[in-house]
Structures are given as structure tokens and as C-alpha cells.
Copies of this chain bind each other. A is one copy, B any other.
Amino acid sequence: MLRIPSSQNPLLRTLAGQTNAPPPIWLMRQAGRYLPEYREVRGRVSSFLDLCRTPELAAEVTLQPLRRFDLDAAIVFSDILIVPYALGQKVEFVEGEGPRLEPIGDGKALGGLNKGSAAKALAPVYETIERVTAKLPESVPLIGFCGAPWTVATYMVEGGGSKDQAAARLWAYREQANFQRLIDLLVETSADYLLGQVAAGASALQIFDSWAGSLPEDEFARWCIAPTRRLVTQVKAKAPNVPVIGFPRGSGPLAERYARETGIDAIGCDTSQPIEWIRDRLQSLVPVQGNLDPLLLVAGGPHLDRRVASILAALGSGPFIFNLGHGILPDTPIENVERLLRLVKTGAA
């Protein structure tokens, strides 16, 4: 099932628990608007979702950053909201405003979702992966991904992004059984989806829990940790050798519990987590990934150089994957990304 023996790539070796110097590096949202060649391809389709659903173009933008930069992994170009779309929820991306969904706020709307139709709607992602892996250098792994059940559920209930995920959290407090049904559906669908990505050629997986930080501890255990553990267990039952990175963004001190209890192979860290704390509390449990401020990559200059050096100094002596603490921003100058790659790969700009 595995395209690449893990010994041949620093990302996969790191995910297996080894320390690599220099550490492997990839960047969240590395295929995206900061690249002119991405904007050119994006201009060929009318909507963002069409780009995700057109394997030829999605494969092309997945490969673009690898042509420019010495990155240690590709990540399939898609969106976490492809899953609600596959379940039959109306999803659109409004230019400059972000995603809009027909919100689901009761058991009836929940009943309208249909897991049966999901496989067909997700097939273009699998084809994208097949196209990418056919063209990627053999030593470079492709990362597949999905949104965590909690984060995807917040979009489904809120009808889009929101400041504090209040609608989803309130529904979960008031109608716990219905919210649990939604989470269960997302666990099952996401497990199939991740396994489909592995079958198509993904060598590693990441679960994005972008809104994990809005949950108090008991709800974090119930809606973030438990569903993630079930999702990881289901994936590992059929793909035991494919490492899974969990990224519970904003979870602060709760990240430690997440690392202990979910069964993930590595944890993504956001910019608010101090690097010594990451080293002492998380890297002692699992390999860590992160956590450069994406705004520093926009700003560049000596601040960037110093921060990269401190991150490497704090985390480089254990299993570590260099990444941002959140996705790369559209305003990021390409020369700053080049500089970052030099800093990480050679220790000098």
C-alpha cells in the first residue's frame, strides 16, 4: 500500500520518531494564492470548489510549490469542506468572504445528509492524488488530509466560519444526542475518506482541527479527542503504516492530553504555543510540527531569521517537522519562503 519506504524520506522518518538534521519542512497551504502560477490556474475555473473537483488542475496546483521550493512533502490540494459537500450539504465559497453552507441546526436537517453519495463526490480527490503521485519524485511523500469532525461540524452548524463557534457549541450543549449523530457521521465519512486517499497514494495524513481551541476541557474531550481517537483507530485498522498528524489548533495546554489520548503519530503546534513548552510537554510524547507565525513569513527581515533559529534550537534536537503555525498567507513574498527554506536547510540565509 505504501508508495515510499519511510526510510527514504526525512518527513516519514521523523513521523516514525527519528530526529533528522536538518528537519523536514512543508508549509500548510503551500499551494495557494501567494503563488502567481496558482492564481493563473485558479483563474481558469469559476469557483474554488471547482478547482478542488477538477483533478487535472488540483494536481497541477499541488505540484507547483514543489517545483519552486525544496519542500519535503506535497499536500493534496483540496478543502476540509469537501466532506459536508460530499454528504449532500450545500457548500459554496464566496470570493473574499469564505465558505457558506446551508446551516444544519436540527435532527431533521441532519437526516437529510447522505453518506451513501459521499464516495462518488470524493472520487475527484482520489484522482488528484493519483495524478500527483504519478508525477512526484519518488522520494517525496504526498500528505492527504481531512478536517477533524469537530471543526467540520462547526462549519456545518454555523453555516460558515465564525468567531467562537457559538452555534455549534450551543447545539452540542442543548441537543447532545443530535450533535453526537453529526459527529459520528463525520467520523465514519472521514475515515473512509482518509483511507481512500491512502489507497490513491497518500503516504501520510493530517487531521485539521482548526477550531479545537473554542472547546472547554470536558467538550474538548468529548468532541475533539474522542472522535479523533475513533477516526485514527479506524484508519490505522486498515492502514497501520500510514502516519497521522493531528493539528488541534488553539488547544493550548489541552494539546498535551490530545497527544496522549488520540493515537496520532505527531502533533501540529500553533504559534501561541511556546517552543520550550512544546519541547518539554509535547515532543516528549510524539514528534512535533510547527510553529512559525505566518505573519513573520509575510514580514520577513531579521525577526524571521531570529525566530527560525530559535525554533530550530528548541525543537531540532528531537523529532521535528518545520512548518507554520497556521496556513501561509496570500501576501507572503516568495523570496521570504525561499529564505525560510535556506534557513532551515542550511542554517544560513
Q: A253-B252, A253-B274 are in contact. Are A293 and B174 (CB under 8 A)?
A: no
For chain A, which range describes its interface: under 10, 10 to 19, 20 to 34, or 35 or more residues? 35 or more
Which single residue of chain B is at the shortest CB-CB distance from A171?
B299
| B-side contacts of A185, CB under 8 Å | none
Q: Are A163 and B163 in contact (CB under 8 A)?
A: yes
Q: A163-B163, A216-B293, A218-B307 are in contact. Are A274 and B299 (CB under 8 A)?
A: no
Which single residue of chain B is at the shortest CB-CB distance from A274?
B217
Q: Are B295 and A273 in contact (CB under 8 A)?
A: no
**In the complex, per-residue mask of A268-307: 1 if CB is within 8 Å of any chain B CB, else 0:** 0001111101000100000000010101101101010001
Which single residue of chain B is at the shortest CB-CB distance from A165?
B295
Q: Is the interface of A mostly helix, strand, loop or mixed?
A: helix
**In the complex, per-residue mask of A219-260: 1 if CB is within 8 Å of any chain B CB, else 0:** 000000000000000000000000000000011111001000
Q: Are A216 and B173 in contact (CB under 8 A)?
A: no
**In the complex, per-residue mask of A160-173: 1 if CB is within 8 Å of any chain B CB, else 0:** 00010010011001
Interface residues of A (CB under 8 A from B): 163, 166, 169-170, 173-174, 213-218, 250-254, 257, 271-275, 277, 281, 291, 293, 295-296, 298-299, 301, 303, 307, 310, 325, 329
User: Can you give 29 A-B contacts (C-beta < 8 A)?
Assistant: A163-B163, A166-B295, A166-B329, A169-B295, A170-B295, A170-B298, A170-B299, A173-B299, A173-B303, A213-B250, A214-B272, A215-B272, A216-B291, A217-B274, A217-B275, A218-B307, A218-B310, A250-B250, A250-B252, A250-B272, A251-B252, A251-B272, A252-B252, A252-B253, A252-B272, A253-B253, A253-B274, A253-B281, A254-B274
